[in-house]
Amino acid sequence: MFNRVTLARSADGYGMRMSALPEQPVVHESGIPMYLVRERSGRVEQGTRDSVGGWPILPVGEPWPVCFCGERMVLFFQVDIPVDVAVFGGEHLLVFQCPVHNDAVGADDGSERLPEQFWDQPLGSDHSEGAFWRILLHRDDTDSAGDAESYLQPRLLELSPATERITVWSLGDALVDDRPADEVFAARGNGVDEFKVGGVPCWAQERENYVCPCGEKLSFVCQVPEDTGFDKHPDQPAQNFTFNSDQYGLFLGNMLYIFACPARCHPAAAWPVTQN
């Protein structure tokens, strides 16, 4: 159990020291598994599982996603989620978006309950025609698709374990009970602002929660920071509403938080939350 004192970041931003200033943030180095996602050198080949672009490794019975407008979606990235990550460890994550449609995502009425088949018919009047994205999670023993992503330059990705540092500005009486510190901080604080799998979201605005139509609360999977760009092939057109004419971005370059159904209702039962 913690003493009822305030902890603040030291000058290097990571160490811990005692402070009597209540306005200072509390920073907790958690044991929650989290992996940073980074590009690395090397060649993407058919069968590569951690990549920007490349050959998608799709679930059984799932074709390459197509937008409601008829355009084949762009494979932005795919990764194997490390086995020690909560809920979705051991699964393969793929993130697609239409090369033409590019927008933020949100519910008009602030509803937390997602509709039936929300992966095809999402919340929000701006998405009445259907989803322009598809996020897939699966454990199927499938081969890669026969053709590669054509819009983005392929890049190898690596996932490196890192410490999830959770910052909280107000704990109140949260630490006077017997709950583990990781649980308390995760429920109230923000993790690091990085491209990562696992860990705790770093919310740009208020935290958001969503419930699958099956009744399960969606669980956090992955975070992509604001204005994360993915290099396009030089002969491909610039993305609509882009922040960089040489790159494509997800959801207008907003901060992206991916949540998915822990009951695994469907390989595409995942929801993108966008903030800035």
Report the 3 state secondary structure along 12-26.
CCCCEEEECCCCCCE
Helix residue ranges per DSSP H, the chain: 181-188
Which pLDDT score is estimated for 4? Answer: 32
Which pLDDT score is estimated for 96? Answer: 99
Rounded CA gap, 197 and 159, in Å?
8
Residue whose structure tokens are 């690395």? 40
Strand 247-248 with 230-231, pairing: antiparallel
- Four-point Cα dihedral 114, 116, 117, 123, nearest 10: -40
Which pLDDT score is estimated for 24? Answer: 81
Residue whose structure tokens are 């003493």? 3
Instruction: pLDDT tens for the chain, 276 residues: list them.
Output: 333 333 333 334 444 443 444 568 889 999 999 999 999 999 999 999 999 999 999 999 999 999 999 999 999 999 999 999 999 999 999 999 999 999 999 766 667 899 999 999 987 767 778 999 999 999 999 999 999 999 999 999 999 999 999 999 877 656 656 789 999 999 999 999 999 999 999 999 999 999 999 999 999 999 999 999 999 999 999 999 999 999 999 999 999 999 999 999 999 999 999 999
138, two tokens: 């699966």
Rounded CA gap, 141 and 217, in Å?
27
CB-neighbour burial class of residue 143 (10 A; exposed 0-12, middle 13-18, buried 19+): exposed
Cβ atoms of residues 249 and 243 within 8 Å: yes
What is the Cβ-side half-sphere exposure of residue 233, based on CA atoms within 13 angstroms?
A: 12
- Which residues sit opposite 113 in a β-bridge? 211
Provide the 3-class DSSP secondary structure of residue 8. strand
Residue whose structure tokens are 């039962």? 269
Domains recognised in the chain with CATH numbers: 32-161+193-276 (2.30.320)
Residue whose structure tokens are 């009445």? 128
Rounded CA gap, 124 and 142, in Å?
34
257, two tokens: 């938080």
Q: What are phi and psi of 174, to 5 degrees?
A: -65, -25
Type of residue at 118 = F
Rounded CA gap, 186 and 170, in Å?
13
Which pLDDT score is estimated for 107? Answer: 67
Which pLDDT score is estimated for 169? Answer: 86
What is the Cβ-side half-sphere exposure of residue 232, based on CA atoms within 13 angstroms?
A: 19
Helices (H) and strands (E) in the chain, counts: 1, 16
